Structure 1
Amino acid sequence: MGRLEDRNVAFVRTVVSSGLRLQEAASLLTFEVPKRRLGGGRYYRGKIAAAVTRSKKQRTYYVSSDAVGDVESYAASSRAWVIRRAQKAGRYDRLPEMRMLIEVTRGLKPKVRWCDQDGVIGEQELSLLTWQERILLFEEGPHGPEPLWLWLNERGLPFLPSSWENVFRTANKRCERILTPPEHLRRDPHQVFAPYATVHSGRHSFALYMLVVLNYLMDQRFGLTPEERRDFRLLYGDPWFMVQNLLGHSSRETTVKHYLAPVADLQLRAMLASTDDDPAEAPMPELDAVFARIARESEGIQDIDSRLVPAAGNAA
């Protein structure tokens, strides 16, 4: 993974813990990632701009404290290093277009104000900025212009969303090369020894993990009676509805279609849907055991470090 390993780790952990799509996670600006604070909890909340989502609707996303910590470490190390190199090389001074940030307004619909290279002032609602417009945004740092685009390449320039596919492709090939034993030692020449992941696998992992955890919390940790569970679902929606909103799906059916099917062999429809059984009479196994069982008995699911990782993602 080279000198930008911390960038790649931070990106993967952001996707896995938030369920963001490739373009959504790849288009983040530095100030759109929540900042960790003392006593802030395990998850932090942020906003995804409408222009970079598939539905073109702004939504709230949640990202783990560990992932935010990875982003902050990346920003303070390799990201700062490539920016300083680019400044010394005069790379930003030669860009054909740059918009220097003046301010980001407060309120329900924050606006970004900037000044271009000709001194012309521009303004746009933050949520309506496309990824192509976001790439042009810079701020004045202690040593010169610095990109507001979070993920940068080794030249200190914005790392395009499509480039992440190649990062994963390279990592998959490396895993296959290292983990696949020599041909003369294989019992089955067609056996797969290495995991295979895509950016979208992280989104799938998030969805499946949240479905299991939310149902577990509702049925076990909260200790709700069947009547209380029904009332809870009427007020807040069942886990399928919650995950639908987290993923930004337009309908519950889309969520069920894409995330129930991979685990149909385990009859998780009954386990995850509402039930009239008292959970105290039939407690769910420990979550790690549930995840391992799903991976073991379901086609297309890999178990990596006690997490569900679909073997191949789709466009959900």
Structure 2
Amino acid sequence: MTLRLAAACAKTNQSRPYWIETKALNAVTLYRETERAHAVRIAQSAGRYEKAPEKLIIDSVDKRGIFAILHEDSGIINNINMGNLSPSDRLRLYVRGADGLSPAALWLNEDGMPRSKTTWYKSFNRANARVRKAGIENLSCNPHMLRHSFALRWYSVARLVWERKWAPEPASRAKDFREQFGDAWSFVQTMLGHSNVETTKQIYLQPFNALNVRLLLDYGRLSLDPDVLLEILDHDPRVRLLSHAERGYEL
């Protein structure tokens, strides 16, 4: 599913699309119908939402999901572009239903209140502690590491697809396609929302910078297959690949 990140929530203040797999969407739906719904009921019973300060209550949203009519506790009514609402503003959004107020935010704490970005760091710290307790060494994670892993994974996928798609084709045709639609670097740049592809290359995909040269020198070929890719990454100190035994564990 293609969704859009609001400009006020992006690092570059530029709205951009992003994509979610069906498996992830199904997991979100399950969360909404179980854990989240339970937390909302508890908070409503305790009157937490009615007591929340500086609430912005959504009266309606247009068909495009862009403009919303909000009213504040003071009674002031505003017509607001949703794309201009920052992450902190969004934590103040509520909707009123048959059972009373509930947060518009998807992710909630156990007490039913909207979950701020900083709280996720605590979740990762607790997960890292459980991993250490399980006896798994040299494995920890923070939220931004997921972005780097995402970049490495999708660059690998793009390269494999590119090689298999264009290996039988004349070099001139592959070159024309690359000039029109970009290469694997451009693909990951789009997925990450970078305005400059050099950021993608030098920071997020630095382990791949000399990939073509190493393939040529070490393997005498330009085609890329999964075994070659894993062997190259396994010798890069910035990349840690899970062993077969470790792949049974998930953070």
TM-score scaled by length of structure 1? 0.70
Q: Which residue of 1 aligns with 2:57?
A: 100
SS at match of 1:92: helix
What is the rounded CA distance, in whole Å, between the counterparts of 2:23 and 2:243 in structure 1?
16
Q: Cα distance 1:136–1:262, how it changes in 2: closer, same or farther (>3 A)?
A: same
Residue in 1 that maps onto 2:115: 159
Residue from 175, 187, 190 that aligns with 1:230? 175
Q: Within 5 A, what are the aligned runs for 1:1-316?
A: 44-107=1-64, 110-180=66-136, 193-221=137-165, 223-263=168-208, 267-270=210-213, 283-285=223-225, 287=226, 289-290=227-228, 292-304=230-242
8 Å Cα contact 1:140-1:146 kept in structure 2: yes
Which residue number in structure 2 is paired with residue 19 of structure 1?
A: none
**Quick check: 2:151–2:205 contact (8 Å CA) kept in 1?**
no
TM-aligned CA distance change 1:137 to 1:271, over 3 Å:
farther
Q: CA deviation at 1:83?
A: 0.5
Distance in 2 between residues matched to 1:270 and 1:210, nearest whole Å: 20
| CA distance, structure 1, for counterparts of residue 3 and residue 29 of structure 2 | 15
Q: Following the alignment from structure 1 to structure 2, what is the Cα–Cα distance between the partners of residues 284 and 242?
A: 17
In structure 2, the residue matched to 1:26 is none
| Structure 1 unaligned blocks of 5 or more | 1-43, 181-192, 276-280, 307-316
Measured at CA, do residues 268 and 137 of structure 1 come closer, stay the same or move farther in structure 2, by a change above 3 Å? same
Q: CA deviation at 1:56?
A: 0.4
CA distance in structure 2 between the partners assigned to 1:263 and 1:282 by the alignment: 14
TM superposition shift of 1:284? 2.7
Give the Cα separation in 1 of the matches to 2:243 and 2:3.
Answer: 27
Distance 1:82 1:143, change over 3 A: same
**Cα pair 1:291 1:303 within 8 Å, conserved:** no
Q: Quick one: structure 1 residues 270 and 65, their matched pair in 2 at CA, closer, same or farther if it must change by over 3 Å? A: farther
What residue in structure 1 maps to residue 249 of structure 2? none
Q: CA deviation at 1:304?
A: 3.8
Aligned mates of 2:60, 2:212 — CA distance in 1: 49
Offset of residue 294 of structure 1: 4.1
For normalisation by structure 2, the TM-score amounts to 0.86
Alignment partner of 1:88: what SS?
A: helix
Equivalenced residue count is 239
Q: Tell me how far apart the structure 2 counterparts of residues 99 and 291 of structure 1 sit (CA, whole Å).
A: 50
Larger RCO of the pair (alpha carbons < 8 Å, separation 6+): 1
SS at match of 1:81: helix
* Cα distance in structure 1, aligned partners of 2:173 and 2:128: 46
What do you get for the CA RMSD once the two structures are aligned? 2.3
The answer on whether the counterparts of 1:208 and 1:259 sit within 8 Å (CA) in structure 2 is yes
Name the SS for the 1:293 alignment partner: helix
What is the aligned-residue identity percentage?
Answer: 29
Q: d(CA) in 1 for partners of 2:60 and 2:97?
A: 14
Letter in 1 for 2:237: E
Q: Is the 8 A contact 2:212 2:222 kept in 1?
A: no
Q: Cα offset for 1:84? A: 0.6
- d(CA) in 1 for partners of 2:185, 2:48: 47
Taking the aligned partners of 1:251 and 1:135, their CA distance within structure 2 comes to 30
CA positional deviation for 1:160: 0.8
CA distance in 1, matches of 2:170, 2:243: 33
**1:103–1:113 contact (8 Å) kept in structure 2:** yes
5+ residue gaps in structure 2? 245-251
Give the structure 2 partner of residue 40 of structure 1: none
